Structure 1
Amino acid sequence: MKFRFVYRIFKGLVKARPSEVVAMLWSFGYFFCLLCAYYILRPVRDEMGIQTGAENLQWLFTGTFIAMLAIVPVFGWISSRIPRRQFLPGTYVFFAINLLVFSAFFESGTAPIATARVFFIWLSVFNLFVVSVFWSFMADLFNNSQARRLYGFIAAGGSTGAIAGPLITTTLAPVVGPTTLLPISACFLLGAIACIMRLSIWSREPKTSTPRDGIDRRQPIGGSMFGGISLLLRSEYLLGIALYMILFTLLSTFLYMQQAFIVSAEIPDSGERTALFALIDLAVNALTLIGQLLVVRRIIGRFGVTLTLILMPAVAIFGFFFLGLFPTLAVLIVFGVVRRAGEYALSKPAREILFTVLSREEKYKVKNFIDTAVVRGGDAVSGWLFEGLRLLGAGLSGISFIAVPIAVLWTSTAYLLGQRQEQLRAALNAKRTYPFDEPEPDTPNDTESGRSTEPAANPYTGPR
Structure 2
Amino acid sequence: MSALKQLFNLEKQEFRIVALSASYFFLLLCAYYILRPIRETMGISRSAADLPYLFLTTMLVLLVLAPVIGALVSKYKRSQFIPIAYRFVAVSLFLFFIALTFIPKDYLFYVGVIFYVWLSVVNLIIISLFWGFMSDGISFDNSKRLFPSIAIGGTLGAILGGTISQQLISILGTSYLLLISILFLEIAVWVMKKIDVEFKQYQQPSQTIGESLTLWHNNHSQTASSLFQKWTSGIRFALTSPYLLAIAGYIFFYGLTSTFLYFQQGQLVSEATANTSERTQIFANIDIWSNLLTLLFQLFISRQLLLKFGIGFILLGLPLLTLSGFVALSLAPTLTVLIIFQALRRSLNYGLFKPARETLFTLLPEEQKYKAKSFVDSFVFRGGDAVGAVTQKGLVLLQLGIGSIALLVVPIAFVWSVLALFLGRKVNNIRNHKSRSTLEKKHNQRET
> Scaled by the length of structure 2, what TM-score is found?
0.87
The 3-state SS of whatever aligns with 2:362 is helix
**8 Å CA contact 2:166, 2:280 repeated in 1:** no
Matched, 1:181 2:177: yes
Residues 138-185 of structure 1: CA deviation (Å, up to 9, x unaligned): 000100111100111111111101111122223433333321222221
The 3-state SS of whatever aligns with 1:204 is helix
Distance 1:183 1:431 in 2: 52
Identity of aligned residues (%): 39
**8 Å CA contact 1:324, 1:401 repeated in 2:** no
Structure 1 residue 103 displacement after superposition: 1.6
**8 Å CA contact 1:31, 1:158 repeated in 2:** yes
**8 Å CA contact 1:317, 1:408 repeated in 2:** no
**8 Å CA contact 1:357, 1:425 repeated in 2:** no
Structure 2 equivalent of residue 342 of structure 1: 348
Distance 1:178 1:311 in 2: 37
Distance 1:67 1:348 in 2: 24
Structure 2 equivalent of residue 86 of structure 1: 80
Residues 366-395 of structure 1: CA deviation (Å, up to 9, x unaligned): 110011111112111211112212322432
Out of 193, 196, 203, the residue aligned to residue 197 of structure 1 is: 193
**8 Å CA contact 1:320, 1:404 repeated in 2:** no
**8 Å CA contact 1:321, 1:404 repeated in 2:** no
Structure 1 residue 209 displacement after superposition: 6.7
Matched, 1:121 2:127: no
Distance 1:106 1:97 in 2: 14
Aligned residue type for 2:80: Q
Structure 2 equivalent of residue 31 of structure 1: 25
Out of 123, 126, 130, the residue aligned to residue 130 of structure 1 is: 126
Structure 1 residue 41 displacement after superposition: 1.4
Out of 147, 156, 160, the residue aligned to residue 156 of structure 2 is: 160
Aligned residue type for 1:176: L
Structure 1 residue 280 displacement after superposition: 2.9
Distance 2:145 2:405 in 1: 39
Change (3 A) 1:391 1:130: same
**8 Å CA contact 1:163, 1:285 repeated in 2:** yes
1:133-282, aligned counterparts within 5 Å? Answer: 133-205=129-201, 208=203, 211=206, 224-262=230-268, 264=270, 267=272, 270=275, 276-282=282-288
Structure 2 equivalent of residue 448 of structure 1: none
Matched, 1:287 2:293: yes
The 3-state SS of whatever aligns with 1:130 is helix
Residues 105-137 of structure 1: CA deviation (Å, up to 9, x unaligned): 222216534332222211111111100000000
> Scaled by the length of structure 1, what TM-score is found?
0.84
Distance 2:207 2:113 in 1: 49
Aligned length: 420
Distance 1:259 1:55 in 2: 12
Structure 1 residue 44 displacement after superposition: 2.6
- Please list every run of 5 or more consecutive structure 1 residues that lacks an aligned counterpart in the other structure: 1-5, 216-220, 434-464
Distance 2:45 2:331 in 1: 36
- Please list every run of 5 or more consecutive structure 2 residues that lacks an aligned counterpart in the other structure: 209-213, 215-219, 225-229, 440-448
The 3-state SS of whatever aligns with 2:231 is coil
Output the aligned Cα RMSD: 2.6
Matched, 1:405 2:405: no
The 3-state SS of whatever aligns with 1:208 is coil
Which segment drifts farther, 174-183 or 235-244?
174-183
Which segment drifts farther, 84-93 or 173-182?
173-182
**8 Å CA contact 1:13, 1:294 repeated in 2:** no
